[in-house]
Amino acid sequence: MMDIHQVLKKLPHRYPLLLVDRVIEIEKGKRILALKNVSINEPYFVGHFPHRPVMPGVLILEAMAQAATLLALDSTGTELDDQTIVYFAGIDAARFKRPVEPGDQLLLDVTLDRTKAGIYKFTGKAWVDKVLAAEAQLICTMRRIDA
């Protein structure tokens, strides 16, 4: 389990793009369950959509990717620094099943399918009240960058 303070130590993201509020459970090298509390105060709701606020699908995918990053870091014992970053390398089979609205609690359920040569493949699912909201295959890579 990780609270927001521990999440902030692990991920480089900050408001408004930090999309994981808490880690409920983590199985090293296998699976992570994380939460994103969706609030009407999120900046994207001003324009998406003013008459019926809906969390953009790309941000649901980003939330799953941030949970996946936490799983990868935990699995490898890696700490991110100024020269290490995790990038999206691909998204496959993304499906959106239900709108995510203010007041919803997004449960991010991500499993590590495989890893090879710094490339990680995950299956991500996002749930609201036990109803599948979105799912996708996420491919990420951890790389060292020049300062």
Which residues are the active-site residues? Answer: 48
Count other C-beta atoms under 10 Å from residue 64's C-beta.
30
Collapsing DSSP to helix, strand or coil, 72 comes out as helix
Residue by residue, DSSP assigns 8-26 as: HHH----TTS----EEEEE
Is the four-CA dihedral 14, 15, 17, 23 of positive or negative sign?
positive
